Amino acid sequence: MISFWEKSSLLQKDIVIIGSGITGLSAAACIKEMQPERGVTVIDQGILPTGASTRNAGFACFGSLSEVIDDLFTMPQQEVIDLVSMRLSGLDILKKRLGEKSIDFQQHGGYEIINEADVHYVEKINFINELLSPLFGRSVYELRDEKISSFGFSSEHIKHLVYTPFEGQLDTGKMMSKLLSYCRDLSVEFITNTPVTKLEDVGDSVSVVLQDLLILNANKVLIATNGLTETLIPNTSVKPARGLLFITAPIPKLKFKGTFHMDKGYYYFRNFNKRVILGGGRNLDFVTEQTIKPGINPLIYKQLEGILKNIILPEHPKSDINIEQTWSGVMGFNNTKKVTIEIYSPNISTAVGLGGMGVAIGSLVGQKLAKTII
């Protein structure tokens, strides 16, 4: 039973944002920065964001050499350039809004591991450098094969290392904590641990049903749930993609720093101080991993463990390599790599399809989503 006071005040909202990940919080921040008088309420089904924003590896990246080359086979040249530009812009917004120090941003550079089957990508370095030079002002990729040995990697499995100085890493926990506090300082309201079970645009407002029990009325609604969007909009173009990650205990005498991509970005790892964070492998089992359910796929886990011990740390005694924690997060992918930001109905807008690049692109997508209603 609802009281008059609850109905007249507490259940009437100006702007509701569903999803408290990078995109949702960035949209909230953008609205309050531009129109501080607006009321903004962020709703999430979990106590913490339940997608990928708090469950990624903390890569501040824009695309490896093989990813950019492969994109050119499915997208026009200018769209590929624009996609890289959007990722760079998103990272710039994030760092300027929160400050590099507060998110522990470190620019050790990024590397792509090239195996025997992918050697042909190296032949196109000069072409891709020329293509992207207007964005960076200098060459983007270069060979650093001498690092294979100095990093302690397996020369049997790795034929080349492609380096870019423009890639960095950050602390995902600090980033999200700072973004939450930034929004709270702007008087953004939060409702957590409360799933939205139904939305209905009724013309002059949106009916937002919480837990099948309570109904909020909002003037505008922004959906920023990415891979989880199909729970609210069944016919959405985005499909979920679960990603598995783990972190090791500290590794004695770890030799490398930086972010690393393998197999066209399907595998990735980085140092976190003296630990290794390793993730990916959904290409081993696309069908099972197209899910919003958390979980550990044993096939993928075994493959990641093998990569860790045999390719990344072959010189280390197996007794020194201990996996301390494992987790999964849910990303969202379209058929293309283009993020879809659209007005779904007169009072509802959506942003989906960040394609595993939420850290890089989420701040810009949130800004564009906010601008659909302000």
Tell me the pLDDT tens digit for each residue of 77-127: 999 999 999 999 999 999 999 999 999 999 999 999 999 999 999 999 999
Coil/strand/helix, residue 103: helix
Q: H-helix or E-strand containing 68?
A: helix 65-74
Give the HSE-up count for residue 20: Cα atoms under 13 Å, Cβ half-sphere: 29
Do 226 and 353 reside in the same domain of the chain?
yes
Domain with 271 in it:
239-333
Nearest to 245 by CA among 291, 300, 194, 182: 300
Global confidence as pTM: 0.95
Specify if 352 maps to a domain: yes
Distance between CA atoms of residues 20 and 49, nearest Å: 6
- The pLDDT tens digits for 189-203 are 999 999 999 999 999
Structure confidence at residue 48 as a pLDDT band (50, 70, 90): confident
**CATH number (domain holding residue 342):** 3.50.50.60
Report whether pLDDT(2) > 80.
no
227 shares its domain with 346: yes
Give dist(CA 36, CA 244) in Å, integer.
39
Q: How many domains does the chain have?
A: 3
Provide φ and ψ at 178, rounded to 5°. Answer: -65, -40
Per-residue pLDDT averaged across 326-342, rounded?
Answer: 92
**Portion of the chain with pLDDT greater than 90, in percent:** 91
Mean pLDDT of 351-365: 96
The answer on 194 and 157 residing in a single domain is: no
341 & 232 share domain = yes
The answer to whether position 95 is within a domain reads no
Centre a 10 Å sphere on the Cβ of residue 46 and count the other Cβ atoms it contains. 13
How high is the pLDDT of residue 9? 74
Assigned domain for 94 exists: no
In a domain, 91, yes or no: no
Q: Is residue 96 part of a domain?
A: no
Both 348 and 231 in a single domain? yes
Is 134 domain-assigned? Answer: yes
pLDDT of residue 1: 66
d(CA 331, CA 172): 15
Q: Phi then psi for 313, rounded to 5 degrees? A: -125, 50
Beta bridge partners of 348: 221, 345
Do 219 and 349 lie in a common domain? yes
Q: What is the DSSP string of 129-140?
A: HHHHHHHHSS--
- Looking at the structure, do residues 77 and 209 belong to the same domain, yes or no? no
Looking at the fold, whether 306 and 350 belong to one and the same domain comes out as: no
116, 207: one domain: no
pLDDT digits (tens, 9 = 90+) for 258-294: 999 999 999 999 999 999 999 999 999 999 999 999 9
